[in-house]
Amino acid sequence: MAFFSKIKESLSKTKNSINEKLETVINTFKSVDEELFEELEEVLITADLGVNTSVEIIDRLRDAADEKHIVDANKLKGELANILEEILNEGKSSKMQVYGLPAVIMVIGVNGVGKTTSIGKLANMYKKQGKNVVIAAADTFRAAAIEQLEVWADRADVRIVKQQEGSDPAAVIYDAINSCKGKYVDVLLCDTAGRLHNKKNLMEELKKIYKILDRELPDSAKEVLLVLDATTGQNAVAQAKEFKEAADITGIILTKLDGTAKGGITFAIKNEYDIPVKLVGVGEGIDDIEFFDSHEFVSGIIDTDEE
């Protein structure tokens, strides 16, 4: 199934939350005035875009309406869609950086967000692209994390490098890098820290890993992806803030998008912290992960006259 079809289907609950409310407000007002903007702002806030981002979006929409002399409320939906897409495209790119032998993709996130599942899906996706993939099981402190990752490695038919539970995560990464050298490995997927109760410990652990990666693989791309559960709404936004303070996050894997109406958090996280969503989970299957596309994402939420 094409990305657009999958993303559209997975965004159905978010679309129902945002698009139907927009339609109601616009059909109620017909003409453009300040009360309409206030109502639209409320729609965005209740759709998990956050207060700050919602206020900024409506400020831009108000300016666009003034500049283009828009008096028909129905014309605002297309402008709103354009602004939402602009927010997703500003600052850091949502495109994955995968170069070098191997390219490194570190994955972090709290327990229960779908981190292990996302790594398995990523391994499968890159394997299907013809790439040689290795997984490093460096989240060594969570009980059964290594065993769960082994199951996904088997499903994706990729090699896994592991040590005993409780081992030094940096040592696992070092072993994994050495096991890749001279073997034309395209992608090294690193399962790392799954906790945030002590930010200082997390920062120290990640610093050790970064140091090893920079020393051993200076010419390789290094993505640091934070896995967030879309169903948790504003809690996911708070996690993004916390992890950004502890680690150099390059992007987000947004999971369980198909099971929630809270997809609006994508805009809040990008606008407030400049962390782009790079991949989205759109189902339970091993193939249900897709690269993020801002235009298709916005199109899946808001119906405009142009469609």
| Alpha-carbon torsion (113, 289, 282, 243), positive or negative | positive
pLDDT for 260 equals 65
* Contacts of residue 253, Cβ cutoff 8 Å, sequence gap at least 6: 107, 109, 114, 118, 122, 225, 226, 227, 228, 277, 278, 279, 280, 281, 289
Contacts of 173 (CB under 8 A, 6+ apart): 136, 138, 190, 192, 209, 212, 213
Residues 117, 109 contacting (CB under 8 angstroms): no
Q: At 127, which helix (H) or strand (E)?
A: helix 115-128
Structure tokens at 243: 């992890």
For the range 110-113, what are the long-range contacts, defined as Cβ-Cβ under 8 Å and sequence gap of 24 or more?
A: 110/194, 110/195, 110/196, 110/239, 111/142, 111/194, 111/195, 112/229, 113/227, 113/228, 113/229, 113/232, 113/255
Q: First-to-last CA distance in the chain?
A: 20
Axis crossing angle, helix 51-67 with helix 34-44, rounded to the nearest 10: 140
Write the DSSP assignment of 83-100 as a string of letters.
HHHHHHHSSS--S----S
Give Cβ neighbours of residue 26 (< 8 Å, ≥ 6 apart): 36, 73, 74, 76, 77
Residue labelled with tokens 């139907």: 20
Q: In three state form, how does the secondary structure of 207-239 look?
A: HHHHHHHHHHCCCCCEEEEEEEEHHHCHHHHHH
Question: Do the beta carbons of residue 164 and residue 143 sit within 8 Å?
Answer: no
Q: What is the Cα–Cα distance from 36 to 40, expressed in whole angstroms?
A: 6
Q: What are the C-alpha distances in Å from 163 to residues 139, 223, 254?
A: 10, 23, 28
**Given this model, what pLDDT does residue 307 score?**
42
Asked whether 7 and 296 are in contact (CB, 8 A), the reply is yes
pLDDT in tens, the chain (307 residues): 444 567 677 777 777 778 888 888 888 887 788 988 999 999 999 888 889 999 999 999 999 999 999 888 888 888 999 999 999 999 999 999 999 999 999 999 887 888 899 999 999 999 999 999 999 999 887 777 888 899 999 999 999 999 888 788 999 999 999 999 888 999 999 998 766 656 677 778 888 899 999 999 999 999 999 999 888 888 888 889 888 888 889 999 998 877 666 778 899 999 999 999 999 988 888 988 989 989 888 888 887 754 4
Q: Which residues contact 185 (CB under 8 A, 6 or more apart)?
A: 101, 102, 132, 133, 134
The strand pair at 251-255 and 159-161 is best described as unpaired
Distance CA 303, CA 37 (A): 18
Q: How far apart are CA 176 and CA 104, in angstroms?
A: 11
**C-alpha closest to that of 256 among 115, 136, 127:** 115
Question: Using CA atoms, how far apart are residues 291 and 142, in angstroms rounded to an integer?
Answer: 28
Phi-psi category of residue 33: left, alpha or beta, with phi > 0 → left and psi -120 to 50 → alpha: beta
